Structure 1
Amino acid sequence: MNHQPLHLDIEYSAKAEFGKPLMNSLFTLGLAIGLTVNYTTLGTTVGNLGFDKVEFPKPVFAGDTIYVETEVINKRESKSSPNEGLLFFEHRAKNQNGEIVMKCQRAALMKKRFNSITIT
């Protein structure tokens, strides 16, 4: 429910810095993290603990294609649960031109072991 005209109003945006509507930065963050789930944490996340150093160095526009790279930058055992650990990720979202449009670090509490479940 962000009613900022830079995201919604074509005429208003045409007179602004980028000349067209921008995607909402929190949408970009959510999209980027969502794109990583299948290849990083599906079925293993106990909970996200926080996001840090969130940056949006370039704008995202309607029609852009977004790709995301994820790197595990640190890990440690959970102090309170022997079956869980903490992973620290860096996510980098790029547009179709290879420009970084979002970068953040994320901490997540993860299961140490994951038993595959077949869904029929």
Structure 2
Amino acid sequence: MTIEDKQPGELYTLEEIGELLKLSRSTIYRRRKQDHWPHLQIGSEFRFTAEDLEAIQRLYRKQEPSPTPPPKRPLVGTKRSKALARSRNSREGAERGAAQSAESPQEVRKA
């Protein structure tokens, strides 16, 4: 079966979509719910239009990588506190190193 076999406006059944996309019935149910696949629900049955099928295929097409990297996500919770601790430690270490280099070599040996 191909998309061209259907007349415009005809609906695809779950089994037909599974055959076209080479997916099992349970996978279609799961993706319909998790990935928000467009569909029609008639009673307890699900039907898909040709436009729905095209929209589903667009969801999974690989897109060209964007020239700019995606924005960094803000650090929250534990990641944020660890990052702050690291930056504090690196600043304190730099300050300690600067203070030691300012001391005379004789005083450093005593310590």
TM (norm. structure 1) is 0.21
Choose between structure 1 and 2: higher strand proportion.
1
Query: Which structure is larger by alpha-carbon Rg, 1 or 2?
Result: 2
TM (norm. structure 2) is 0.22
- Structure with the greater relative contact order (CA < 8 A, sep ≥ 6): 1 or 2? 1
Choose between structure 1 and 2: higher helix proportion.
2
